[in-house]
Structure 1
């Protein structure tokens, strides 16, 4: 049987299907510069970190990785609903501490070695036993899901979730956990948990990650020899030309790719990506500026708007400014912000205001949260009661980035600052490059008072939102509320769907009353491809796969 939470993803499935059907409409022909009909050239906003799935957490790295690798559980194209991946079935024990996977037969890694139960266990054991702080610190998704490594066993924080893996027979892998995890089975589909060839991992020293200051150096496997089971294989990464080239895997177990080659061309400037798209130098790129939608459509391109599954929030750090420890001050900040106006004036068409962190399409969403709708007088009153009428805050804002939930960070931050100023809160905006200080300042050092950030869901589980944000003490938010931590931990450990839904609803109410951060808006991001590109299905998880893509006359 397939153990899948269909209820919590049914609405995403429906809107995803609508998006896929919309793609059947044929856009106008592109010019003669469209290029080779067997090659897709995709414009990337930035260079990949590397190609080892477990060491990555960003979209520019995941996009090529998703074409080369596969996971045990997959997401149906255009939805967050589960479907078979490298496993055809997955069955939990009654207490949720054992998962049995029936594996697909006849699958081989790109190096010709067999995918089987021993390979599955090799991957899980590798992650769990990863040596060195440098390696572990880069395993963001694994660390969040499995809550520790072998070296953490028996420490004060409790044992990690992972216990052991057994290859029961060639096509049956049994995963043993120390405790149930409500994120499963959905989290088994995370790109970071993709299956790599054990032989390639060993041959190319995959675990030898070293650190030099703030930088990390990755071994040959991650940079030159990524080896998965996917429909495309790694050919090269030419850093001088800023191009990544993948070729068709003719031995792929599933439907063979229609394209012979995919080239990811790194084009950091957003306007340059748009111009290259219009002139036919590339066949597509992600997250076009909403202001460019019409120009792109006029050129014959298809602007595919994804289903909404993200959130933009104003983070609050309670560590540096004593006034922010006061719940009244945090509520005042939320009352001060006109979210409806922000969605209408600063975000793409279809954006909406948000008053909780769990998406409406996901179990755990509830109308019972405490709402703090725009009310400047109420904000001023709360600040006065808290003795914080002269509140001054450092507002950290990212630059050199466009995210699905945040297309123009500086403009959005300007609107939020104006709202706060109207309530008497003095804001000093601190602009920092996304990959040049902002993320470290926020997530490692906690230098800020408030900041602008957001999240696109990885799978259809409330814990992927509220658990990721508020499940434990983090530099980003600087609070240590045991009641919220326990509520989220209890929800995550609840096995039955209805019980978990109720537990996350209760946690959502607690979070809304505490206000560790301010949910702002959600907005539908887009991906754009040429008029002659067919078969790409936009995903609410930004989990697009190119195996079904072809090029030709429309």
Structure 2
């Protein structure tokens, strides 16, 4: 159930049962031959992506959904910070909980990804001036915050813009993108906002409604620490009624202040469950929905009586991220990074991961678009093999002055010795890391694995860039050009590579101000190719969304682009027990 409103970190993993390094030789191709090969790869990726639907959940009209019932969902931890706009709130647990209680749910999207305002929150939103660009938004005056019943007003939006636009760096916002494009937010009245932009901004619709009340954004202290232990007030069909920190349970019930149509479910329960225990918990009926990322989990999910298994295309993709500041500065050498990219067998990872899921294998060679998505182009060409090129990796190192000392290359007394950080009890992540370790050790590196507590994996290691290598997944969004680019910008808090290229800032400035869709896609691919030239994030494959659900559960599950209507989620009649 990967329904996200901003780009999120995800412990999506893979189950690798065998490790084999295929050695591919270097070949020379003419420009025309390479162009034709790239076209074939792009067409093949698009064809593979077409094998799955965009939305796979079972649909049932709202009036036909049974009244009542409880939905139990697993999360890996109680949110580290309940503020979804804070950097520590940039993880799936916070996102999933926030979605149900209405934070950042003001925009909805259909199966094709066409976005529109959610009428429960926004009556209208339109560009009323082109030079300068001004957007006028009228809020639904019935909308109120679930803690005290106070109305959602333009003042809440103004406070969020000021906190997240980057002008005050004491606010540890997950991203300033979008907010920093706004020149001013003005209140024509309590429920009518005028948003003036500094330059043309194509993704304006996603910055028209607050994700929390004014109190959340008033001071850095409130923003950063005010909601570490207490949930942020919401404005959705459900509200949090209890948080059991010791037992690891978050309980939601129908929001008695909700003004829209009544949700069908009576209660939603989030249970902290380790990734290792999730498959058995689903099989035992302790949770009602599970993301399936490996063959073992799929097998256990199928074992539950009446279980639904849904498969759709997704926005999630796995990768290997390199911290260029690690290893005594060795990773500052781009030739070392190129050798790493050459040595890792991406195809083997894809085969061992995706085939057991009974889904097509789609390698990803773009940092903005997913394979099959309009605008997708191969950003690497012949600079990245889908297979392991062990001998090619060694040649790169030797040409750069590295010499083999025993089994490990070194230069100036510094060995190519690194570790991969993996979360405890996340077998899929460990298996993927072992595949990488095996390939790199065969190419003259010395790689080991370092296991850390799963609840500290992001907060203490990834967010603090306390690692050499790390492998996890990114969950994309409907705003591919906006959210994807933020991951690689020099000053972005989501850039975990430590690599800084100001050229990316210049390209991104053009990308975020181009209103013509075709021209914007061209700039997006220019951006992606520039990221590819850095050799800092090795993309693996596009992960299909595969979900196991309790029998009878409808209007939720696997989807690539479509947003969930949480009022319509429920059960077929007679199956709500």
Into which bin does the TM-score normalised by the smaller protein fall? 0.7 to 0.9
Aligned partners of 1:501 and 1:531: how far apart in 2? 41
Aligned partners of 2:336 and 2:166: how far apart in 1? 44
CA 317–292 in structure 1, closer or farther in 2 if over 3 Å, else same? closer
CA 167–534 in structure 1, closer or farther in 2 if over 3 Å, else same? same
Aligned equivalent of 2:399, options 385, 390, 395:
385
Aligned partners of 1:126 and 1:483: how far apart in 2? 27
Residue 440 of structure 1 aligns to a residue whose secondary structure is helix
CA deviation vs aligned residue, 1:501-550 (integer Å, no higher than 9, x gap) = 11111122222233232212221133332103222143336965532111
CA deviation vs aligned residue, 1:243-274 (integer Å, no higher than 9, x gap) = 21211135533332001221212223532x33
1:483 partnered with 2:503: yes
Unmatched segments (≥5 aa) in structure 1: 1-10, 26-35, 147-159
1:106 partnered with 2:111: no
Aligned partners of 2:393 and 2:163: how far apart in 1? 51
Q: In the TM superposition, what is the alpha-carbon distance from 1:117 to its structure 2 partner? A: 3.5
Q: In the TM superposition, what is the alpha-carbon distance from 1:65 to its structure 2 partner? A: 1.2
Indicate the residue corresponding to 2:302 in structure 1. Answer: 297
Residue 471 of structure 2 aligns to a residue whose secondary structure is strand
CA 489–425 in structure 1, closer or farther in 2 if over 3 Å, else same? farther
Aligned partners of 2:399 and 2:428: how far apart in 1? 35
User: Which 4+ runs in 1 deviate beyond 6 A?
Assistant: 14-17, 129-132
Indicate the residue corresponding to 1:30 in structure 2. Answer: none
1:350 partnered with 2:387: no
Q: In the TM superposition, what is the alpha-carbon distance from 1:386 to its structure 2 partner? A: 0.8
1:493 partnered with 2:513: yes
CA deviation vs aligned residue, 1:174-198 (integer Å, no higher than 9, x gap) = 123344445x236438xxx753344
1:520 partnered with 2:551: no
Note the aligned Cα RMSD (angstroms): 3.6
CA 281–421 in structure 1, closer or farther in 2 if over 3 Å, else same? closer
Higher relative contact order (CA 8 A, sep 6+): 2
Indicate the residue corresponding to 2:430 in structure 1. Answer: 410
Aligned equivalent of 1:252, options 251, 255, 258:
258
Indicate the residue corresponding to 1:504 in structure 2. Answer: 524
Q: In the TM superposition, what is the alpha-carbon distance from 1:467 to its structure 2 partner? A: 3.0
Indicate the residue corresponding to 1:395 in structure 2. Answer: 419
Q: Is the 8 A contact 1:53 1:194 kept in 2?
A: no
Q: How does 1:303-382 map to 2 (within 5 A)?
A: 303-320=309-326, 321-347=328-354, 348=357, 349-358=359-368, 359-362=370-373, 364-367=375-378, 369-370=380-381, 371-373=383-385, 374=387, 375-382=389-396
Name the TM-score, length of structure 1 as normaliser. Answer: 0.78
Aligned equivalent of 2:157, options 120, 123, 131:
120
Aligned equivalent of 1:140, options 165, 174, 184:
174
How many positions carry a matched residue from both structures?
Answer: 496
Q: In the TM superposition, what is the alpha-carbon distance from 1:500 to its structure 2 partner? A: 1.8
Q: Is the 8 A contact 1:441 1:447 kept in 2?
A: yes
Q: In the TM superposition, what is the alpha-carbon distance from 1:58 to its structure 2 partner? A: 1.2
Q: Is the 8 A contact 2:250 2:271 kept in 1?
A: yes
Aligned partners of 2:472 and 2:243: how far apart in 1? 30
Indicate the residue corresponding to 2:41 in structure 1. Answer: none
Name the TM-score, length of structure 2 as normaliser. Answer: 0.75
Unmatched segments (≥5 aa) in structure 2: 1-45, 61-66, 404-408, 411-415
